[in-house]
Structure 1
């Protein structure tokens, strides 16, 4: 809402290692902790509490959760985060803007949630088929009620999905195709197309925060690959988007 945006425009991160994400009435603090120094992260939370107090707002500590993602081989115990002397509950998985995010950044929980929701809607597709609706109308219904669920934020999570998770999701697409009696685009094709589309819009927008990640090689035909030391980063959106653009030999103007 516009009013919420205007009233919270000054609620910003103090440190460059942190980000404050606001959506509707939800606020999320994301902190990058280096060298086991949590000072900036904890000060950021404390500043957010002070900002809320100064603006006659109160944080609901019972609904506030913390997720710690630590992929180091020798992880350490992180002391609990406290707000107004109350400890914030630490959880292993949370739902953020419709996407289930886990502390190990695997996507099985999210996959199962999307698959269950999509399979429930196959029932209505079957009912429409029994009513002798033509394939074009069935396809429109599928794209609006089933495909839209399966591909929700697909550029975020599909690249790092396991083979089993991808198979689970694709099975729903295959069932829908049999019901409709017409071929449907695979989730992989949709993922690659959306990566290309999003990457193209970023390349065309010099003001985009991620514009600098897409650097043309001297040939002017392909983009420089993003180096990654882990498979998790290699399969994430930006490296995938660069590869998608290069595979299409697409150089946005």
Structure 2
């Protein structure tokens, strides 16, 4: 039975599937405009016929709903805005989702800047503990629990596509903490590789995982087959990087 508070809107699920598909030319401009028009029409129908639904009761408020358009065409077509309760949904250039700042050009400058500022503020407390003459093991534990945890927050999502200029401030945080504690600490690139390899090994062992097919062995049985990528952004994303990281590991005896 369909929940009256969450009615089915024809065209909504199809539009979301097309917008989130990770292929290059999956959405045509004219077709996307047509889908948005259909979505606006069905939203108005549901609001009028089902006043107790999530749309009619104001669960989807325009003040709390935003829209981000990702379009890399040289000549982008005019975007048809979404309407909820006869109000236009605001279009933004960046959005924060689960603590990660995503931009409409899929750059990570805003995200790395936010992480760097948050980690630099926590270096103050590390210096205070150093002045209190705490031993390096305690300082290292504090660093791993407060600063490294911030640097590695969803690092598998954004670090691979960061530029060199965006990676330098993150590495500066590590080197500064290293000089305060007085012991060597793993570089940010090594932390990224560790966070990539750990879930990749779990996916390889779990045959029921949806991404298990992305880690197929070559006929030799010693290396994994690299994913075919068209863009540099896809090549630097999580799964292709995970395959390369697994292939770079020394062979097991």
Partners of 1:43 and 1:217 lie apart in 2 by 46
The answer to whether the Cα contact below 8 Å between 1:126 and 1:179 also exists between their aligned partners in 2 is yes
Partners of 2:167 and 2:6 lie apart in 1 by 39
Q: Normalising by the residue count of structure 1, what TM-score does the alignment of the two structures yield?
A: 0.83
Q: For 2:102, what is the secondary structure of its paired residue? A: strand
The answer to whether the Cα contact below 8 Å between 1:223 and 1:246 also exists between their aligned partners in 2 is yes
> More deviation in 111-120 or 213-222?
213-222
Which entry has the higher C-alpha Rg, 1 or 2? 2
How far did 1:171 drift?
0.2
The answer on 1:167 being equivalent to 2:168 is: yes
Partners of 1:223 and 1:187 lie apart in 2 by 25
The answer to whether the Cα contact below 8 Å between 2:102 and 2:111 also exists between their aligned partners in 1 is yes
How many residues align? The count is 237
Partners of 2:145 and 2:237 lie apart in 1 by 26
Q: For 1:61, what is the secondary structure of its paired residue? A: coil
Deviation string for 1:31-51 (max 9, x for gaps)? 456122224566568778959
The answer to whether the Cα contact below 8 Å between 2:40 and 2:83 also exists between their aligned partners in 1 is no
Match of 1:176 in 2: 177
Match of 1:78 in 2: 79
Counterparts in 2 of 1:220 and 1:42: CA distance versus 1, 3 Å: farther
How far did 1:82 drift?
1.2
How far did 1:206 drift?
2.2
Q: For 1:54, what is the secondary structure of its paired residue? A: coil
Match of 2:135 in 1: 134
Partners of 2:222 and 2:42 lie apart in 1 by 47
Match of 1:92 in 2: 93
> More deviation in 218-227 or 163-172?
218-227
Q: For 1:63, what is the secondary structure of its paired residue? A: coil
Deviation string for 1:168-205 (max 9, x for gaps)? 11001100000000010011001011111111111222
Match runs of 1:53-202 below 5 Å: 53-54=52-53, 58-202=59-203
Partners of 1:217 and 1:78 lie apart in 2 by 44
How far did 1:62 drift?
1.0
Counterparts in 2 of 1:82 and 1:217: CA distance versus 1, 3 Å: same
Q: For 2:147, what is the secondary structure of its paired residue? A: helix
Deviation string for 1:125-164 (max 9, x for gaps)? 0000000000000000000000000110000000000101
Structure number with higher strand proportion: 1
Partners of 2:205 and 2:116 lie apart in 1 by 34
